């Protein structure tokens, strides 16, 4: 077993859920069993692994999400790999060349999500081995990149200056909204809290986001008493934890913003 358990809530015994949600990135995956009609999650697990063991970890993940015999459950996979690009609708025909101009896409499988709300296409790539392993084991599977719910689902903030940061593992994905336009969606890797501060300050500078006015919306695996949060609080005046409640989750003691990406994915596809 190459998966390291970060957290688990609920259980899979006697599970009647008809839908499985999976988010998978370079060093983590999350799994949720959901009743799509009642929007009740019976199980949620978040796991980490070493990037070098991605293929073996995906094998372990697939074992965990294998549907029971005669169960025609639907699988919704949310790739969170950073090889993604937002393209205006009118340039969609250039998607392959545009994505290839930024990333080396040898051994990757390309997909795309239309985002009508912004007249954009999210064009992204999944490691070919990961895509093959998942689709070989599940006859009913659909893909929605992790950026897509972030773009499609209203976060409750109307400020002209917004920066959303979702943390998991040693990565965080950022979305910048300014003057009712999307200016950036990107994933960054960090080693220390000050790395995160540097990235966010640089983003604010590049996109002319005033530090004293920008609303920073935080989600994912970050706690209020953590060194990371305290460091962010030293540099930004307006820190908010994301509020998302699409699903009813099993009883747990974790902050609700830990599960923001799951709530947003459910809101996007159910």
CA 240-244-246 angle, to 5 degrees, is 180
Per-residue model confidence as pLDDT tens digits over 1-53: 589 999 999 987 656 789 999 999 999 999 999 999 999 999 999 999 999 99
Per-residue model confidence as pLDDT tens digits over 42-59: 999 999 999 999 999 999
Number of other CB atoms surrounding residue 229 within 10 Å: 17
Predicted TM-score of the model (pTM): 0.94
Q: Domain extents for the chain?
A: 156-241
Predicted pLDDT at 17: 86
Predicted pLDDT at 60: 95
* Contact between residue 175 and residue 119 where contact means Cβ atoms under 8 Å apart: no
Predicted pLDDT at 97: 86
Name the burial class of residue 258, with classes exposed (0-12), middle (13-18) and buried (19+) by CB atoms within 10 angstroms of its CB: buried
Q: Which CATH class is domain 156-241?
A: alpha beta
Predicted pLDDT at 69: 55
- Ranges of residues in the chain whose predicted pLDDT is under 70: 1, 13-15, 67-72
Predicted pLDDT at 102: 87
Predicted pLDDT at 201: 97
Hunting for tokens 């920066």 — which residue is that? Answer: 163
Predicted pLDDT at 105: 87
Segment (H or E) for 228: helix 227-235
Collapsing DSSP to helix, strand or coil, 60 comes out as helix
């Amino acid at each position: 077993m190459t998966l390291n358990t970060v957290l688990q809530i609920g259980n899979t015994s006697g599970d009647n859920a008809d839908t499985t949600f999976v988010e998978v990135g370079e060093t983590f995956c999350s799994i949720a069993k959901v009743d799509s009609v009642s929007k009740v999650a019976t199980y949620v697990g978040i796991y980490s692994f070493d990037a070098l063991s991605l293929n073996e970890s995906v094998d372990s993940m697939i074992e965990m999400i294998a549907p029971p015999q005669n169960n025609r459950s639907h699988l919704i996979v949310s790739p969170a790999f950073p090889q993604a690009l937002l393209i205006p609708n009118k340039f969609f025909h250039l998607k392959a060349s545009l994505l290839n101009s930024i990333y080396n896409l040898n051994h990757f499988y390309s997909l795309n999500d239309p985002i009508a709300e912004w007249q954009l296409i999210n064009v992204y790539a999944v490691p070919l081995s990961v895509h093959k392993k998942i689709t070989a084991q599940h006859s009913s599977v659909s893909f929605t990149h992790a950026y897509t719910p972030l773009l499609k689902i209203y976060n409750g903030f109307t400020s002209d200056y917004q920066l959303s940061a979702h943390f998991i593992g040693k990565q965080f994905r950022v979305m910048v909204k300014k003057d009712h336009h999307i200016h950036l969606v990107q994933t960054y890797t960090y080693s220390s809290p000050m790395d995160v501060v540097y990235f966010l300050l640089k983003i604010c500078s590049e996109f002319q986001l005033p530090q004293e006015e920008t609303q920073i919306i935080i989600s994912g695996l970050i706690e209020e008493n953590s060194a990371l949060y305290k460091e962010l609080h030293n540099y930004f005046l307006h820190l908010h934890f994301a509020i998302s409640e699409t699903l009813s989750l099993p009883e747990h003691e974790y902050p609700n913003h830990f599960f923001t990406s799951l709530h947003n994915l459910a809101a996007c596809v159910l």
